[in-house]
Amino acid sequence: MVSIKKQLVAVRSLTSGVGNPCNYITIHETANTVKGANAQSHANLQSKGNSRLASWHYQVDDKEIIQSFLDNVQCWHAGDGQGKGNMESIAIEICVNSDGNFKKAVKNAAELVKYLMKQHSIPIGNVVQHNRWSGKDCPQNLRHGSKGIDWNDFIGLVKGSTGVHVPTQEVGSVVVTKPSSTEYKGNSIVDYLNSKGIDSSTTNRKKLAKEYGISGYDLSIAKNLELLNAMRNGKKPATSTPTPSPEKPKTNEYKGNSIVDYLNSKKIDASFANRKKLANQYGIKNYTGTSAQNTQL
């Protein structure tokens, strides 16, 4: 069964906001035949801020379905400005990457369409091609049957019945997955912000770091982890950065400036290979063991 994976993007400038009544479903093809240009690749493109003035709700390949925007968001995909394509339809992009199985991707898209039709009471007559809204030759392969399956075949798949009883959360062979927890468990600040629907751009992360009182934010791994932990642990944003009270050093705390002696005092491997590894973990690039780099580490 193919699950709908959610990798939601915050509603941003490449949409018209919420308000989509979901009266239509518009079928597209990505037109990107590069190897690896699968659903995950296109979902990542949207998560990172699409360089194209375009957005769409779902991307489908031969293995998975990924949702980028909630159905009620008015995405820019149909090429009809404020028309019904952009304002009233849910956009599905079918991947055409050369290392994928196009027919399987089409079948997965058909199952997604069946699911969305049931969710929003959309009639089969309102499942349309991108061509309907702007005249663009899209979805090109389905329109011309150039990969052994055409538009009529696709509609036939949508109309087809699985002939089996399915649970409430399952429609056709599509299962809407519910994560065991909505809390992001990883260590990427970008993925964490995306999971919360927050803009993960460099500019916004710098702004958040300042709000949360994280000084010297430089996009390094260490600072990203510091920001992630501050947000994940519910630390309140700082209104001002307080002057920390001086701490009395512990009697066994190393006070010198030698990274080797410091690591030895902590019983940590002080070899060059391990120092280079630690430098990389702490965001110190091109570590060669110089005095300046050792002091920085």
Position 31 in a domain: yes
Query: Is there a single domain that holds both residue 148 and residue 47?
Result: yes
- Tell whether 273 and 222 lie within a shared domain: no
CB-based contact 87:74 (threshold 8 Å): yes
Phi and psi at 78, nearest 5°, equal -90, -15
170 in any annotated domain: no
Same domain? 93 vs 139: yes
CA distances for 95 relative to 48, 81, 175, 196, 250, angstroms: 19, 24, 20, 26, 59
How many whole angstroms separate alpha carbon 149 and alpha carbon 142?
6
Mean pLDDT over the full length of the chain = 82
Q: What residues pair up with 15 in beta bridges, in sequence order? A: 75
Give the separation between CA 8 and CA 194, rounded to whole angstroms: 7
Structural domains of the chain, count: 3
Is residue 50 within 8 Å of 15, Cβ to Cβ?
no
Residue 256's Cβ-count burial label (10 Å; 0-12, 13-18, 19+) is exposed
pLDDT for residue 278: 80
The 10s digit of each residue's pLDDT in 78-134 is: 999 999 999 999 999 999 999 999 999 999 999 999 999 999 999 999 999 999 999
The answer to whether residue 281 sits within a structural domain is yes
Residues 264-268 have a mean pLDDT of: 74
Shared domain check, 264 and 209: no
Residues 79, 226: one domain?
Answer: no
**Do the domain assignments include residue 282?**
yes
Q: Are residues 112 and 21 in the same domain?
A: yes
Q: How does pLDDT run across 155-180, given as a tens digit for each residue?
A: 999 998 432 223 333 334 444 444 44
Residues 132 and 215 in one domain: no
In the predicted model, is pLDDT for residue 266 greater than 60? yes
Provide the percentage of residues in the chain whose pLDDT is more than 90: 47
Please report whether residue 244 resides in a domain.
Answer: no
**pLDDT digit string (tens) for 19-74?**
999 999 999 999 999 999 999 999 999 988 776 789 999 999 999 999 999 999 99
Domain that holds residue 81: 4-159
Pair (141, 198) in one structural domain: no
**Band (212; pLDDT cuts 50, 70, 90):** confident
Average pLDDT of 252-262?
69
d(CA 38, CA 45): 11
Task: Flag whether pLDDT at 263 surpasses 90.
Answer: no
Residue 126 lies in a domain: yes
181 domain-assigned: no
- Do 33 and 121 lie in one domain? The reply is yes
| Band (241; pLDDT cuts 50, 70, 90) | very low
Total-model pTM? 0.57
Do 92 and 206 fall within a single domain? no
N-term to C-term CA, the chain: 49
Residue 193 lies in a domain: yes
With both helix axes pointing from N to C terminus, report the angle between 151-159 and 102-120 in degrees, rounded to the nearest 10: 50
Least Cα distance to 133 among 197, 192, 181, 83 occurs for 83
